[in-house]
Structures are given as structure tokens and as C-alpha cells.
């Protein structure tokens, strides 16, 4: 109860950055979800390692700050690229980072710095089909169900604790494209749902021995 007896103080929204490399349809889904007044996170920044990534234009039109940190400027030095990216995230006082089609492998430097505050969406039902070409491999394996997973990022690729998953049926006659489209529709619901859980503190994770993130 407040002094007036009614109005509740508004919860402070988590400051989120979305990292992309391409079209950014998951980023767009997060931006749309975050427009809702009761959503617990705000998309403060969209950053990309690809300066002309289509998603950057979408974010700009949505009134969101964008930054391009071109990985090619850093040659083979992945950590130098990550330091530049990390500096941007800190400049915007980012609390949670969502990878959404971000096509750079991250080093332990960045993963440790964002331990427990770094999410990724993967187009498969992890632990099945880690890595690339998940839809093609799901069809080749003849699985009945496929889907998407949002998970915390750890050093081992596509292996962190799972926040949320949703499956779709694999239908007779599916091609890589039709299956990818069905999974993508799920991704656009799943990522906003998973980010909500984490931002509300209902999904959290920290590598043992490290300080637990408060997110």
C-alpha cells in the first residue's frame, strides 16, 4: 500500500540490448512485445556486427538506438571486437543481452562478462541439433517434432540452461523452408515470453562459482 492507498509503484524495466547480424525478425518480435506497458523489459539498443544488417533499419524506424561494430575492423582478434561491443553495451547501461540471429561465435571473455545475463534463441529443440542447418538436419533425422529454444549462453555452443522451448510438428512433405517458417512463427512468440521470465527474475542462471546475476 502506498501513502495514497492505491497506486503501486511501477516496476523498473530491465534495459535490454538485442544483437543481430541479419534480418532481425526475432528482434522485431522483442521490440513489439516490449511496447506493452506491462512488459518488464525495454529494448534500449540494437547492435550488429554487420553495418548494413536489415534489422538495424527496422530498429531505427522503431525509434531505438542502433550501433554497428563491424567485426572486420578487428581482423582475427575476436576479443578486441568483443571489447568494443561490450563498451557499447556498458555505454547504454545494458542489463540483459539477447542474441537474435547474431552470427559470431563468442569467446569466454564476453560470455563470462555477461554470465547469467546473455540469452540466445536456437531454432531446434535443444539438446537436439546444436549448430547450423537445424531444419535440414531435423528432416534428415526424421523427427516427428522440431521447434525452438531460448537458453542462457555458456562457453559450450548451444548448451546453456534452457529458459523456454516450444515445439511444432514436422509434416509430411515439409521442406527446409516450410519447416523453417513454422519454427520461426514459434520463435516470435517464444523469445518475448522467455525474456519476460528472465526480466521478472523467474528464470535465472549463473555459472557455479561466479556471482549470480540479478536479472
Residues found near ligand GRF in the complex (CB under 6 A):
20, 22-27, 100-101, 121-123, 184, 187
Q: Measured from the CB atom, is 133 or 210 closer to ligand GRF?
A: 133
Residues 6+ apart with CB under 8 A from 161: 151, 152, 154, 205
Output the smallest distance, CB 53 to ligand GRF, in A. 8
Q: Measured from the CB atom, is 123 or 203 closer to ligand GRF?
A: 123
Catalytic site positions: 122
Q: Measured from the CB atom, is 132 or 172 closer to ligand GRF?
A: 132
From the CA atom positions of the chain, what is the Rg in Å? 18
Output the smallest distance, CB 59 to ligand GRF, in A. 12
Residues 6+ apart with CB under 8 A from 181: none
Alpha helices in the chain (DSSP H): 25-34, 54-61, 78-91, 108-113, 134-141, 176-199
Output the smallest distance, CB 149 to ligand GRF, in A. 9
Query: Closest residue to ligand GRF, Cβ-based?
Result: 101
Give ∠ CA 192-187-13 in degrees, rounded to 5: 10
Helix (H), strand (E) at residue 81: helix 78-91
**Spatial separation of the C-alpha atoms in residues 99 and 162, rounded to whole Å:** 14
Output the smallest distance, CB 155 to ligand GRF, in A. 18
φ, ψ for residue 99, nearest 5 deg: -80, 130
φ, ψ for residue 160, nearest 5 deg: -75, 170
Q: Measured from the CB atom, is 15 or 23 closer to ligand GRF?
A: 23
Amino acid at each position: 500500500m502506498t501513502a495514497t492507498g492505491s497506486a503501486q509503484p511501477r516496476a523498473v524495466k530491465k534495459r535490454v540490448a538485442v544483437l543481430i547480424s541479419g534480418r532481425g525478425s526475432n528482434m522485431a518480435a522483442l521490440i513489439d512485445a516490449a511496447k506493452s506497458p506491462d512488459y518488464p523489459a525495454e529494448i534500449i539498443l540494437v547492435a550488429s556486427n554487420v553495418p548494413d544488417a536489415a534489422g538495424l533499419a527496422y530498429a531505427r524506424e522503431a525509434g531505438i538506438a542502433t550501433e554497428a561494430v563491424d567485426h572486420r575492423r578487428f581482423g582475427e582478434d575476436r576479443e578486441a571486437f568483443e571489447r568494443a561491443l561490450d563498451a557499447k553495451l556498458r555505454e547504454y547501461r545494458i542489463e540483459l543481452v539477447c542474441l537474435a540471429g547474431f552470427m559470431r561465435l563468442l569467446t569466454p571473455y564476453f560470455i563470462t562478462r555477461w554470465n547469467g545475463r546473455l540469452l540466445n534463441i536456437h531454432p531446434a529443440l535443444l539438446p537436439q541439433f546444436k549448430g547450423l542447418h537445424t531444419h535440414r538436419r531435423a528432416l534428415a533425422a526424421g523427427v516427428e517434432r522440431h521447434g525452438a529454444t531460448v537458453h542462457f549462453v555458456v562457453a559450450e555452443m548451444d548448451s546453456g540452461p534452457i529458459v523456454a522451448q516450444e515445439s511444432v510438428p514436422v509434416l509430411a512433405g515439409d521442406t527446409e523452408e516450410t519447416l523453417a517458417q513454422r519454427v520461426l512463427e514459434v520463435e516470435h512468440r517464444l523469445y518475448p515470453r522467455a525474456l519476460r521470465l528472465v526480466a521478472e527474475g523467474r528464470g535465472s542462471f549463473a555459472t557455479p562459482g561466479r556471482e549470480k546475476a540479478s536479472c
